[in-house]
A and B are shown apart, each in its own frame.
Chain A
Amino acid sequence: MPESLISWLNVKPSGDMVTLLVLGLLLAAGVLGASLCRRMLHVPFITGCLLSGLAIGPSGLNLLTQSGLDEFRFIVDIALGLVLFELGRRIDVRWLLRERWLLFTGLMVSALTFAALFLSLSLAGIPTLPASMVASIGITSSPAVALLLVRELKAEGQLTERMLHLTALGNALAILLFAVCLSAHYMQHQPAWYTAIIHSTYRVVGGCLLGWLAARLLTLPTVLKIESSMQQGTLIIAAVALVVGLGSSLGLSSLIALLVMGATTRSTHAMWFIREDELAPINAMLCTILFVYTGAQISLRYLPEFIGLALAFIALRSVVMTTTTGLLAWFNGISWKKGMWLGISLFPMSGVATLLALHVSAPYPDFGAELSALMISVLALLELTGPLVLRLALTASGEAKS
């Protein structure tokens, strides 16, 4: 609750009042702060939102406290859900199956990044399980940053398309790796090893099924001849909310479900009935909240101590990604230069990663305080610089609209 803001008012606001206050702050800070940052610093809109969030959040002026922010988890979950659904809609499964080099590149980027990070962490003396979990967070790229910047800059071309596909693949693989890590963890502690396998399969396969079912829901406008774009948009929000809600209550992977839902609507007839611009106003609002919220969550507390290690982590991750895509550029039908930019475009790390890290550190305290601090520092740096680096990649490759 933003006590600091309202203590001098000498009123005792009810819970709903506080929620409204926080919502107002998130939106106003987002729009006004982002516009100000954009004008003064020439940064992308989302960086502006992040900076505003950072300024008013617990790490800054503390106008927004952690408990106040927690009230908004559900909106943030829907915002993120919509982003993942939209990313899913950009994924062309038929292309991935036909253009094997893209699939191979995605697998190689993830595998090599994972291997490099895991080996380095292991050599630094981190135990296997936390090291593998951190390494699997390291292979994710931010779907929200990727999608929103592509939209903001009106980027089009092979780098853009391949980057979005690699981003979706990386996030899906991270979920799989995570499930495997957790299974391994269970195995250490439980005699019945098969429960671990069943658990992770349930999470992933169940997620796919949930996504597929939600996509069926979105074909209803065709059947019922609902032609109003507002109603179609509302149905999409409903489907996203249902998937996120059901996913977490049933213990299924919502990320996989949303990606599958998006990709399935693309490959079925439903795609004709959902146009990107129809969701634009609600998308803009939800994303403002999402990024101000994310900015407020950025913690700079450990940065002074961990900056060296965090930079080393980021450098290793970027070098491996860029080298891999650069070396495979020719097979992807693009110039080696564009291939290098493709690797660089994967730089922003996933907000999903934050959530994963938070989820993990709570129930599995053996993640370690130091490693958590390192990850929090890495995330802080990547959140703040990611959009700028991606913008550079999209502009330098000529795919952003000038």
Chain B
Amino acid sequence: MLEFTPSEPLTFGIELELQIVNRRDFNLTRGAPDLLTLIGRKKHNFDIKPEITESMIEVGSAIHRSHHEMLQELREIRTLMLDCADKLNLGIAGGGSHPFQHWGDQRIYPKERYMLVSELYGYLAKQFTVYGQHIHIGVPDGDAAVRLTLLLGRYVPHFIALSASSPFHQGVDTSFQSSRLTSVNAFPLSGFMPMLSSWADFQAYFSKMSSYGIVASMKDFYWDIRPKPEYGTVEVRVCDTPLQLETSVALAAYARTLAAYFLDHPELSAHPDLYQTYAYNRFQACRFGMAGTLSDAETGAQPELRQDLFTTLDMLSETAARLGTQDALGYLRVRAMRMKTDADWIREQFQQHRMLSAVVQRQCDYWRAGNEDWVL
């Protein structure tokens, strides 16, 4: 039976998948093994590990109670990684996809699980060379995890639009703000968790899927949001890796504030028609970002995504004040008001330089510089 390990509510952490590129033409390069060897020699307690292809590296934050501490830690990780990458002449960049890599050139990291995934999913595994951010929010029990997974589903378009940073794919402008999620859609168990009402329901569902031989563990679900029973968290997985750490932390703070709001309001539950509008709203966010039009199952309204975000941020103001996340939400609000997402920034760089290599070089500089204006 799948047990849920309780955790301290509203503690949170993030995982970031980052791109490793060479500094010659700024294409992806198999730098992970060398970079991890060098990082392994330094004294640190950070969680830095390989991902499925050798041109990816994953960074995990510790479990935090404040996003200021999280940012502090991530900045230290960034310094450590850049020190090592500089020695090896590698570049590290954010962004949900590499703009011009060819998926066929990617190599699977030689680790048992990745080899198995590669064998099972064939070319999907290499096509999965996309870079996402995962946000974990601690919840008291499995029932809360199932409830939050459904409630947060309503806000998935916000997370997609705020983090969108993958406008190019295989050298072509996709016209999408986030093309990354399209790669995830190809996996058979992608999408969303079914409408369930308790952890007991979830256990029954899992046992059934397991008895059908479809899943062996939670890792086999590639859902946008899923309960993570081992960690005692709800995991939001729709975000592209933003171009700067500050945005990553702000997104995590937003997810945490939303979760706090729902824990404060036990009377709220997901609308039964959530999944009638889900795919449409998700597409609107991927395609048009902030300018997308949403369909609200609850009110029947069709607000602009940006407007819906502002309404939600207003709804969260009290909770944010209590948690101390106003600055993070303010940061996201300003970005939305200016209609300046990372995807727009990438397109702007391309307009300016006309070369995707130059765009990736700028992405590396951007990730290194960070956004010091946002004083935390």
Q: Number of A residues whose C-beta is below 8 Å from B?
A: 23
User: Digit string of A379-402 for contact with B (CB within 8 Å is 1, else 0)?
Assistant: 000000000000000000011010
Inside 8 A of B355's CB, which chain A residues have their CB?
272-273
Inside 8 A of B9's CB, which chain A residues have their CB?
none
| A-B pairs with beta carbons under 8 A, tally | 50
Tell me which residues from 32 to 69 in chain B have a Cβ below 8 Å from any Cβ of chain A.
Answer: 33-34, 37-38, 41
Name which residue of chain A comes closest to B107, CB basis.
A401
Given contacts A99-B87, A272-B357, A401-B107, contact A92 B23 (CB under 8 A): yes
Cross-chain contact A92 with B88 (CB below 8 angstroms): no
* Residue A268 interfacial (CB < 8 Å): no
User: Digit string of A269-283 for contact with B (CB within 8 Å is 1, else 0)?
Assistant: 001110110000000
Choose, from A7-15, A153-161, A286-294, A318-326, the stretch at the interface: A153-161
* Residue B86 interfacial (CB < 8 Å): yes
Cross-chain contact A157 with B34 (CB below 8 angstroms): yes
Inside 8 A of A185's CB, which chain B residues have their CB?
none
Inside 8 A of B25's CB, which chain A residues have their CB?
271, 275-276
Give the complex CA separation of A275 and B100 in angstroms.
13
In the complex, what's the smallest C-beta–C-beta distance from A155 to chain B, in angstroms?
9
* Residue B343 interfacial (CB < 8 Å): no
Give the complex CA separation of A275 and B171 in angstroms.
14
Cross-chain contact B89 with A161 (CB below 8 angstroms): yes
* Residue B30 interfacial (CB < 8 Å): yes
* Residue A95 interfacial (CB < 8 Å): yes
Name which residue of chain B comes closest to A276, CB basis.
B25
* Residue B84 interfacial (CB < 8 Å): yes
Range of interface residues on B (Cβ < 8 Å) = 20 to 34
Q: Among the interface residues B29, B84, B87, which one has the most CB atoms of the partner chain A within 10 A? A: B87
Give the complex CA separation of A33 and B156 in angstroms.
60
Cross-chain contact A158 with B107 (CB below 8 angstroms): no
Name which residue of chain B comes closest to A155, CB basis.
B30
Inside 8 A of B265's CB, which chain A residues have their CB?
none
Give the complex CA separation of A187 and B24 in angstroms.
43
Inside 8 A of B84's CB, which chain A residues have their CB?
333
* Residue B31 interfacial (CB < 8 Å): yes
User: B33's contact among A98, A266, A333, A398, by CB below 8 Å, is which?
Assistant: A398
Cross-chain contact B34 with A334 (CB below 8 angstroms): yes
Cross-chain contact B89 with A157 (CB below 8 angstroms): no
Cross-chain contact A156 with B29 (CB below 8 angstroms): yes
Given contacts A92-B24, A266-B24, A272-B357, contact A158 B88 (CB under 8 A): yes
Cross-chain contact A157 with B37 (CB below 8 angstroms): no
* Residue A66 interfacial (CB < 8 Å): no
Cross-chain contact A157 with B87 (CB below 8 angstroms): no
* Residue A199 interfacial (CB < 8 Å): no
Tell me which residues from 11 to 31 in chain B have a Cβ below 8 Å from any Cβ of chain A.
Answer: 22-25, 29-31
Cross-chain contact A156 with B30 (CB below 8 angstroms): yes
Give the complex CA separation of A236 and B251 in angstroms.
48
User: B89's contact among A92, A156, A272, by CB below 8 Å, is which?
Assistant: A92
User: B87's contact among A154, A276, A333, by CB below 8 Å, is which?
Assistant: A333
Tell me which residues from 95 to 132 in chain A have a Cβ below 8 Å from any Cβ of chain B.
Answer: 95, 98-99
Tell me which residues from 132 to 171 in chain A have a Cβ below 8 Å from any Cβ of chain B.
Answer: 154, 156-158, 161
* Residue B82 interfacial (CB < 8 Å): no
Give the complex CA separation of A275 and B38 in angstroms.
30
* Residue A195 interfacial (CB < 8 Å): no
Name which residue of chain B comes closest to A266, CB basis.
B24
In the complex, what's the smallest C-beta–C-beta distance from B85 to chain A, in angstroms?
10
Cross-chain contact B33 with A157 (CB below 8 angstroms): yes
* Residue A190 interfacial (CB < 8 Å): no
Name which residue of chain B comes closest to A96, CB basis.
B89
Give the complex CA separation of A147 and B361 in angstroms.
24
Give the complex CA separation of A399 and B105 in angstroms.
13
In the complex, what's the smallest C-beta–C-beta distance from A103 to chain B, in angstroms?
13
Inside 8 A of A276's CB, which chain B residues have their CB?
25
Inside 8 A of B353's CB, which chain A residues have their CB?
272
Give the complex CA separation of A333 and B31 in angstroms.
13
Inside 8 A of B38's CB, which chain A residues have their CB?
333-334
Give the complex CA separation of A95 and B37 in angstroms.
19
Give the complex CA separation of A94 and B370 in angstroms.
23
Name which residue of chain B comes closest to A158, CB basis.
B34
Inside 8 A of A154's CB, which chain B residues have their CB?
105
Cross-chain contact A333 with B88 (CB below 8 angstroms): yes
Cross-chain contact B107 with A334 (CB below 8 angstroms): no
Tell me which residues from 79 to 97 in chain A have a Cβ below 8 Å from any Cβ of chain B.
Answer: 89-90, 92, 95
Cross-chain contact A98 with B86 (CB below 8 angstroms): yes
Name which residue of chain A comes closest to B23, CB basis.
A92
In the complex, what's the smallest C-beta–C-beta distance from B336 to chain A, in angstroms?
33
* Residue B195 interfacial (CB < 8 Å): no
Besides A156-B29, A157-B31, A398-B33, 11 other A-B contacts (C-beta < 8 A):
A90-B24, A92-B23, A156-B31, A157-B29, A161-B88, A271-B24, A272-B353, A272-B357, A276-B25, A333-B84, A399-B30
* 7 A-B residue pairs with CB within 8 Å: A92-B89, A99-B86, A157-B30, A157-B31, A161-B89, A272-B355, A275-B25
CB within 8 Å of B: which residues of A? Answer: 89-90, 92, 95, 98-99, 154, 156-158, 161, 266, 271-273, 275-276, 333-335, 398-399, 401
10 tightest A-B CB contacts, nearest first: A272-B355, A95-B89, A158-B34, A333-B38, A156-B30, A333-B87, A156-B29, A272-B357, A272-B358, A157-B34
